[in-house]
Amino acid sequence: MSTATIRPGWVQRRLAPVLKAVLGCVFRLLYRVEVRGLEHYRAAGERAIVVSNHVSLMDAALLATFLPGRPSLAVVEAMRRSLWLRPWLLLVDVFHIDPTSPLAMISVVRALKRGGRCVMFPEGRISVTGALMKVYDGPAVVAARSRTPVLPVWIEGAEGSPFSLSRGAVPIRWFPRITLTIGPARRIELPRSVGGRRRRQLAGEMLYDLMTEAAFEADNRDRTLFEAILDARARYGGGRLVFEDMERKPISYDRLVLAAMVLGPRLARVAPPGGAIGVLMPNAVGTAVVFTTLQAIGRVPAMLNFTVGPTQAAQACRAADLKVVVTARRFITAAKLEALTAALAGVAEILYLEDVRASLTTRERLAGMWRAQQARAWHRRHRVAPGAPAVILFTSGSENLPKGVALSHGNLIANCRQLRVRVDFSPSDVLFNALPVFHSFGLTGGLVLPVLSGFKAFLYPSPLHYRVVPEAVYACDATMMFGTDTFLNAYGRVAHPYDFRSVRYIFSGAEKLREETRRLWADRFGVRVLEGYGATETGPVLAVNTPMFATPGAVGRLLPGIRYRLEPVDGITEGGRLLVAGPNIMLGYLKTDGSGVLEPPPDGWHDTGDIATVDDHGFVRIVGRLKRFAKVAGEMVSLGAAEALVLSLWPDQRHAVIAAADNRKGEQLVLVTEHRGAERTVLAEHAHRQGVSELLIPRTVMVVDEVPIFGTGKVDYVRVQAMVAEHRAGRRAA
């Protein structure tokens, strides 16, 4: 027999309800067990496959105790003989599976068709990371063949108990709070045209998505960002270090909250509740303190980009209606930003942290220590709604003037949660972040994600220090990095092969990851660069390649909770315009008139402006930006594809392709390049060898000393366009 249902005797069945009631009381007393979503369990019907994550030795006991009725538990022979598991088997019908038998799957399908609920652990083992590990496709295939709905159950908290195997990855406590969240039942329906290995793969992907969506929905409480920080402090311990910078004075949760409680009353005086306060600061511990303080007092930090000119910075202040900008004299002097602050002083008051710190009295410091002991209660007096703005960011303005983007507390928390259920971050990780926190990638990924997830972030002030960054990564033993293609390529070229010895994950975003950069890191450092995709308006992450699912050339699969649609665009045959909706989508744009009025996305759908495709496995590929297309001789031509052609010929320099007016063909492509020997004839020969359409060959080549970029590494196409216009005007005048 490949499978067998082993039922206990009459006496054991009589004792089971009593034992279940007693164990329920014990679990609730020790672990404060909470069960959510029982209505989904009842609505699933009498026949269902219950799938659960596997984080501890208690999991089977928890499910047997708290799931209604008497479900069947699928176990292998080794588990059935386990002394630890044997007492809990009195509460369930044991469904013995022989994985060595080729007929096992057929037997399971037949048994399920007869009715009943069967509990399975698709991971096949207890997680050692605390997060979801490899999900086997067996339960999904069984569900598809037997037409049985799948009911996800997410166990949270047990990974932090002494019965967990994830020691070192999750803080261990004797009696952590445990929740069991039951999600809605779903059927796994596979296309009939798909068979064999691909069919199993699709089934496994669908099951994985179902479980990660259940994990995401398991913690959908409404709370502010500061409340989420306090929850993380309670979970990971107040003494855990969360931020460090080049001063090498790391700060813990307790010190972060204490600093917020001391500084909070002072900053609360300069703006009304819910009002915005400008933050002009670099990647540093002090910035994390200011950001946390503003969250604690219910004010909205507006993260100002100090790499733009004074005019754009002043426009950002007007758009967000900023009356006060917080900064530090030391930073202004070191970064030579006197002209910028002079421009900002014309529209807002400049508040220097050194002055605030020097004027704090002993009484204020003691009062702050008292408030830190009851931070949650004190925060309630300043609390705003979770749906209110938590931060104001500004788009890069790479193609037009920057816009203010308001993200809510729920947006930021949801985006971090979406990432955490897909990637196995753990408190033992150290993130190195050199991306500026005025950029959404640097803020959410480098500041908010670490403090909510319990791992330390090393904040470095500039991504442009190509030779220093690798040394800093080596010195702080970083296990993860965030970066853009431009920066990662530069680091990889100058770094010592041992500088990234401790790094296990590198996530790339903000611009397309070149194949050359991917190969450089794989060949020289043995690290896989995982490309992601997003926008300031989406928190920012929409999709990301993960260790579980990664495809070179794609930007990953959409995160849980995100819906999408592709709208056709005239003249473009590959892909469609990508629109997205979900819990991480912004509240809206700030009007530039300074009124503070938000323009929300229509019906909650954000138009990314990107042309994308989504394949059968859910991988998103970005064809190009809609604004980054030109109409040449009646054909739509991707400027991104033209840049990729140039990069394939001259990969060591930076290039930008823009569209300019053309009297004969409507528009023409203009190449702005740093390659000294760039000639159109050489590029045309390369295009012909590659079999590329002649429409992708720029008609004009313009060599410059440096292609302008933002502090985030993105090409500043507005300045490039201005350079080309000036060049063409000069030629006409000559």
**Residue tagged active-site, from 54, 96, 409, 655:** 54
Q: What is the mean pLDDT of residues 212-230?
A: 90
Range with the poorest average pLDDT among 91-95, 132-136, 529-533: 91-95
The reported pLDDT for the residue numbered 313 is 83
Q: Residue 214 pLDDT > 70, yes or no?
A: yes
Query: What is the 3-class SS of 95-149, one letter each residue?
Result: EEECCCCCCHHHHHHHHHHCCEEEEECCCCCCCCCCCCCCCCCHHHHHHHHHCCC
The reported pLDDT for the residue numbered 451 is 96
Residue 523, Cβ density class (10 Å: 0-12 exposed, 13-18 middle, ≥19 buried): exposed
Q: Residue 30 pLDDT > 70, yes or no?
A: yes
Q: What is the mean pLDDT of residues 689-701?
A: 76
E strands, 289-429, where? 300-303, 324-327, 349-352, 389-394, 404-408
Range with the poorest average pLDDT among 69-73, 389-393, 622-626, 683-687: 69-73
Range with the poorest average pLDDT among 73-82, 464-473, 556-565: 73-82
Alpha carbon distance 653, 633 (integer Å): 29
Residue 379: active-site member: no
Q: Residue 2 pLDDT > 90, yes or no?
A: no
CA nearest neighbour of 522 among 513, 533, 532, 510: 513
Q: List, in sequence order, every residue forming a beta bridge with 134; answer none if it has no partner.
A: none
| Residue linked to tokens 């010195």 | 475
Alpha carbon distance 85, 100 (integer Å): 22
Is the separation of the CB atoms in 392 and 590 below 8 Å? yes
The reported pLDDT for the residue numbered 232 is 93
Q: What is the mean pLDDT of residues 379-396?
A: 89
The reported pLDDT for the residue numbered 113 is 65
Range with the poorest average pLDDT among 72-81, 258-267, 390-399, 701-710: 72-81
The three-class DSSP label of residue 667 is strand
| Residue linked to tokens 């979801």 | 132
For 618: left if phi > 0, alpha if psi spans -120 to 50, otherwise beta; the answer is: left
Dihedral angle computed from the Cα positions of residues 267, 270, 273 and 275, in that order, rounded to the nearest 10 degrees: -110
Q: What percent of the chain has pLDDT above 70?
A: 86
Q: What is the mean pLDDT of residues 450-468?
A: 93
Side-chain half-sphere exposure of 120, counting CA atoms within 13 A: 25
The reported pLDDT for the residue numbered 89 is 62
Q: What is the pTM of this model?
A: 0.85
Range with the poorest average pLDDT among 110-119, 182-191, 494-503: 110-119
Report the top-level CATH class of 3-217: alpha beta
The reported pLDDT for the residue numbered 14 is 64
The reported pLDDT for the residue numbered 96 is 63
Q: Residue 3 pLDDT > 50, yes or no?
A: no
Q: Residue 455 pLDDT > 60, yes or no?
A: yes
Q: Structural domain boundaries of the chain?
A: 3-217, 222-408, 633-733
The three-class DSSP label of residue 26 is helix
Q: What is the mean pLDDT of residues 215-237?
A: 90
Which amino acid appears at position 403 of this protein?
A: K
How high does pLDDT run on average in the chain?
Answer: 85
What DSSP string describes 319-340?
HTT-SEEEE-HHHHHHTT-HHH
The reported pLDDT for the residue numbered 81 is 57
The reported pLDDT for the residue numbered 703 is 84
pLDDT tens track for 620-673: 998 877 776 665 655 667 777 787 788 888 887 888 887 777 666 567 788 888
pLDDT tens track for 130-171: 888 888 887 888 888 878 889 999 999 898 899 888 776 778
pLDDT band at 69 (very low <50, low <70, confident <90, very high): confident
The architecture of the domain spanning 222-408 is 3-Layer(aba) Sandwich (3.40)
Q: What is the mean pLDDT of residues 524-553?
A: 92
Handedness of CA 664, 667, 668, 673 (dihedral sign): positive
For the stretch 5-8, contacts whose Cβ atoms lie closer than 8 Å and that sit 24 or more positions apart, written own/partner, are 5/72, 5/93, 5/94, 5/95, 5/96, 5/111, 6/80, 6/93, 6/94, 6/95, 6/96, 7/93, 7/94, 8/89, 8/90, 8/93
Range with the poorest average pLDDT among 74-78, 317-321, 464-468: 74-78
Alpha carbon distance 714, 708 (integer Å): 9
pLDDT tens track for 256-304: 999 999 999 999 999 999 999 999 999 999 999 999 999 999 999 999 9
The reported pLDDT for the residue numbered 502 is 94
**Cis link prior to 540 (omega < 30° from 0)?**
yes
Q: Which secondary-structure segment (H or E) carries 657?
A: strand 655-662
pLDDT band at 13 (very low <50, low <70, confident <90, very high): low
The reported pLDDT for the residue numbered 467 is 93
Homologous superfamily in CATH for domain 633-733:
ANL, C-terminal domain (3.30.300.30)
The span from the first CA to the last CA of the chain, in angstroms, equals: 91
